[in-house]
Amino acid sequence: MALASCLRSAWKRPSPTCRFGLERRELRHWSTGETWNWFDLGDKSIERFGTPHLMLHRADLHGLLADAVRSLKPDAITLNRRCVSVVSHAGYAEAAFDDRSIVKAPYVIGADGIHSKVRVCLFGPSKPIFTGCIAWRGLIPMEKLPHRLARMVGTNWLGPHGNVLHYPVRRGEIMNFVSTSERDDWQVESWSTVGTRQELRNDFRDWHADVQAMIDQIETPYKWALMIREPMPAWSKGRVTLLGDACHPTLPFLGQGGVMSIEDGYVVAACLDKYFGEPGLAFARYEEIRRERTSMVVRKASENKASAFAPSLADKDRIAEEGRARVAASSPARADGVVI
């Protein structure tokens, strides 16, 4: 309830000039810049889903979620402590932190990403697999972009050996830039490794002038290697479980990694609510509900990698074909309700 009201107030326009939802998504040709309308959002999204199509800055989403939790329990969140170990006991679980504090709780849920410490404590170390792709991301103040690019439109550039995606966040004040390219010389998966504009330019050196204009205005380009892991047969032990990238990291070619973490969080909370005193049952039901969908997303995202990097995408007609195929497949998959 608290989250729903935060989201409602987040997209309510404070003034008629303040923009929120995306108008549409378009596809563009990496070299000629030719543009295809992919699908309309704007009023269509409100008509169909009852809300505008929002693209959120991750920090804004975190802020909304944190506010919603704190409105229910002001001291629920503690920041800046690194978990160093977790242990499951018969009647409780225990998490130890790098400031030497220890928290005892009925359950511990490790939502600590692809390098999850909680996963290592439960199942031992395993090496992530480098996928041969690196991603770049960066933020661009919208006012620094030429008028033709400063639009409430999400754009996917299709091209050989890489792709570029940009879309406005934070009410259109910032353009988020994300690109992926095939490279095998960078293998540190990290959110915060700073690259250089020159290196990013080099990855997209022959691309259209609008891509170059974006790259020129990125404040700080970050780069990271894209990693996955072998699927895990189980995510839980005793009173401790995992969610999101900690148990099923995925490639970004389906745009569903963050979505899966949120869905996992919802389902594990509902399972614990229903079977609170029975950890075995609660986590078995959680895994049972989530396994098929998360495996399908991880598999399809990997399959999409091949089409994202097809060399034939250098051919304009193939891109048009690809555009039409994407338009045909653009009806979003429904997440059917589940009975916990």
Ligand X SMILES: Cc1cc2nc3c(=O)[nH]c(=O)nc-3n(C[C@H](O)[C@H](O)[C@H](O)COP(=O)(O)OP(=O)(O)OC[C@H]3O[C@@H](n4cnc5c(N)ncnc54)[C@H](O)[C@@H]3O)c2cc1C
Residues at the contact surface with ligand X, assessed by CB under 6 A = 82-83, 111-113, 117, 135, 178, 226, 244-246, 252, 255-259, 261
The total of other beta-carbon atoms located within 10 Å of residue 251's CB is 23
Q: Which of 47, 51, 45 is nearest to 23 (CA)?
A: 45
Nearer to ligand X, 113 or 132 (CB): 113
Beta-strand relationship, 93-97 and 108-110: unpaired
**Identity of the residue, 103 or 320, whose beta carbon is nearer to ligand X in the bound complex:** 103
**Cβ 17 to ligand X, closest distance in Å?**
27
Task: State the minimum distance, in angstroms, from the CB of residue 254 to ligand X.
Answer: 8
Distances in Å between the Cα of 239 and the Cα atoms of 167, 249, 267 are 40, 22, 16
| Residue 130 CA from chain centroid, whole number | 18
Closest CA to 227 of 184, 185, 187: 187
Whole-number minimum distance, CB 83 to ligand X, in Å?
4
**In whole angstroms, how close is the CB of 84 to ligand X at the nearest point?**
7
Q: Which is nearer to ligand X, 118 or 319 (CB)?
A: 118
Q: 32 or 101: whose CB is closer to ligand X?
A: 101
Rounded to 5°, angle at Cα 318 from 316 and 321? 115
Q: Which of the residues 167, 222, 275, 286 is marked catalytic? A: 167
How many other C-beta atoms can be found within 10 angstroms of the C-beta atom of residue 318? Answer: 15
Is 222 one of the catalytic residues?
no
Measuring CA to CA, which residue among 150, 155, 141 is closest to residue 219?
Answer: 141
Q: Which is nearer to ligand X, 42 or 113 (CB)?
A: 113
CA–CA dist 58, 261 (Å, integer)? 13
Q: How far apart are CB 37 and ligand X at their closest, in Å?
A: 20
- 66 to each of 83, 171, 271, how far by Cα in Å? 19, 19, 22
Residue numbers annotated as active site: 167
